[in-house]
Amino acid sequence: GQNIDQPTEMTATEGAIVQINCTYQTSGFNGLFWYQQHAGEAPTFLSYNVLDGLEEKGRFSSFLSRSKGYSYLLLKELQMKDSASYLCAVRVHFSGTYKYIFGTGTRLKVLA
């Protein structure tokens, strides 16, 4: 089956660094994506990895190890506006098409 695990909630302080982990067991792996979702809004794309290693994009970085089925999203210099849910999603490829399988999301609270 397809399974994605991430912590339900995390809390961090403004200005700090936080790492959100994601582990997955899927078939047809074709990339791992991170999305940010504020309550009542659509997910917005943050970062993705297809190959192993670290991808850096401003304050956000994402890491992937395909052999371990593991990824993390690193958020630096946290701001209050970073309080949101962070969704780990694996893109899988079947018969010429793609779909995303989402984790349940990690709700991040940034405290002053």
Partner 1 sequence: EPEVTQTPSHQVTQMGQEVILRCVPISNHLYFYWYRQILGQKVEFLVSFYNNEISEKSEIFDDQFSVERPDGSNFTLKIRSTKLEDSAMYFCASSEGGGYTFGSGTRLTVV
Nearest distance in Å: CB 13, partner 1: 26
C-alpha to C-alpha distance for 50 and 29, rounded to whole angstroms? 9
For partner 1, the closer of residues 69 and 103 by Cβ is 103
Nearest distance in Å: CB 112, partner 1: 26
In sequence order, what are the residues at sequence separation of 6 or more whose Cβ sits closer than 8 angstroms to the Cβ of residue 8?
A: 104, 106, 107
* Residue recorded with tokens 């999603």: 89
Nearest distance in Å: CB 97, partner 1: 4
List residues binding partner 1 (CB under 8 A): 33, 40-45, 48, 87, 89, 94-105
